[in-house]
Amino acid sequence: MSAPAANAVNTQPLDLEAYEALDLPTLGRRVQAVRDTMGSRLLILGHHYQRNEAIAFSDLQGDSYKLSASAAADASCEAIVFCGVHFMAETADILANRPEQLERRAGRRIPVVLPDLAAGCPMADMADIDQVEECWRQLGSVIDLDEVTPVTYINSAANLKAFCGRHGGIVCTSSNARAVLDWALARRPRVLFFPDQHLGRNTALAMGVPPEAMPLWDPDQPELGGNTEEAIRGGRVLLWRGHCYVHQFFLPEHAAWFKQADPDVKLIVHPECMKEVVEQANVVGSTGAIVQAIESAPPGTRWAVGTELHLVNRLKEAHPEQAIYFLSPTIASCRTMSRIDLPHLCWALENLAAGTPVNVVRVPDAIAQDALVALQRMLEVSR
């Protein structure tokens, strides 16, 4: 099958199966052909955890915050293809198609395409709207809800962001969680933080919130998430029992091993790691902060890095002048992120160019409107 002309008029989307039979050089040439034809009308965003072949064809690479801010800022492109996971595409849709941008473009929407719709985030799936509504209802029977700001990690479905928008809450990413929690706790005395307990706990501990003021809400427990009323009343940062499985492969003993094997090694980890790992780290930061710290370090620096494998391997290749080790002996890679392979990317791009876009992620207007409130609060706080 040959690449369709960019202006070909198709009525049926091209079939994915045919792409899976193609070799990588062919797929690469065809992806590049669509990029050349569409030029600045096409924006391909790539999260740092993506496979190399997706990163190689992305116009912009970054962490969740940088990519969201780019989707919010770019008014000139005609389509966004997101090499990331589902919540990232939803966020890009909400921000790129917010009312002021639609008005500026005379109503024209920017379709946001996720090349494989099965690229989700298992951590985001650990909190759903019914569970969060039920938690809120139960909390209301013990504490005054006017005292609570709901904060959702950006790794969450759009309807949870909308929940935060409706209840005076906000979104955070791993790069601005501290600023967001400072903002939230300056307004109201308590926060309900979901879905990542580790990001919430690590950030609140760094702010001086004591562990006993962070009850853990387990959505599978029928009463108060498994807590006593007293624990909830004493809570300042109520944490949701969710986690990123990728970052649970980094264990305290791995950190301790590196430290004793090489006392000068710098431990740099993502805040989705458990607190016993974070406590031993020299640097804790988002993927963007990890990239920046390593890029700006002097030659000869030795690092043990606790974050997703694709990023660490790319850092190793890009910085042969530094010694970069993977913190875990286990392969800690994000399987859902990796679903965006070259056949899916090529299939999605050629369909876009042919006028038969596939896998367009479109957040319903009512949800987008409330979610935007919480996202804009975040962009204000971390501007």
Task: List interacting residues with ligand 13P (CB under 6 A).
Answer: 63-65, 121, 155, 173-175, 244, 272, 286-287
Length of the chain: 383
**Shortest Å, Cβ 85 to ligand SF4:** 5
- What does the DSSP 8-state code read for residue 298? P
Choice between 64 and 152, CB closer to ligand 13P:
64
- Non-local CB neighbours of 335 within 8 Å, separated by 6+ positions: none
CB of 176 to ligand SF4, least distance (A): 16
The structure tokens listed for 63 are 């962490």
Question: Using an 8 Å Cβ cutoff, are 197 and 215 in contact?
Answer: no
The CA-to-CA distance between both ends of the chain, in Å, stands at 47
- DSSP designation for 3: P
Bridge partners, residue 304, by sequence: 267, 325
- Binds 97: which of ligand SF4, ligand 13P, none (CB < 5-8 Å by kind): none
The smaller minimum CB distance to ligand 13P, of residues 123 and 232, is found at 123
Given ligand 13P, ligand SF4, none, residue 122, with its beta carbon under 5 to 8 Å by kind, binds: ligand SF4
Query: What is the C-alpha separation between 185 and 302, in angstroms, rounded?
Result: 37
Q: Which is nearer to ligand 13P, 232 or 244 (by Cβ)?
A: 244
Report the 10 Å Cβ neighbour count for 378.
26
Using alpha carbons, select from 144, 149, 131 the residue that is nearest to residue 195: 131
In the list ligand SF4, ligand 13P, none, the entry touching 50 (Cβ below 5 to 8 angstroms by class) is none
* Site residues, ligand SF4 (CB under 6 A): 49, 85, 121-123, 155, 244, 246, 308, 334, 336-337
Minimum CB separation of residue 270 from ligand 13P in Å reads: 6
In the three-class reduction of DSSP (H, G, I as helix; E, B as strand; rest coil), residue 114 is classed as coil
> Which option in ligand 13P, ligand SF4, none does residue 286 bind, with CB closer than 5 to 8 A by kind?
ligand 13P
CB of 158 to ligand 13P, least distance (A): 15
Structure tokens at 247: 């970052």
Query: Which listed option, ligand SF4, ligand 13P, none, makes contact with residue 361 (CB within 5 to 8 Å by class)?
Result: none
Minimal distance, residue 86 CB to ligand 13P, in Å: 11
Provide φ and ψ at 237, rounded to 5°: -125, 105
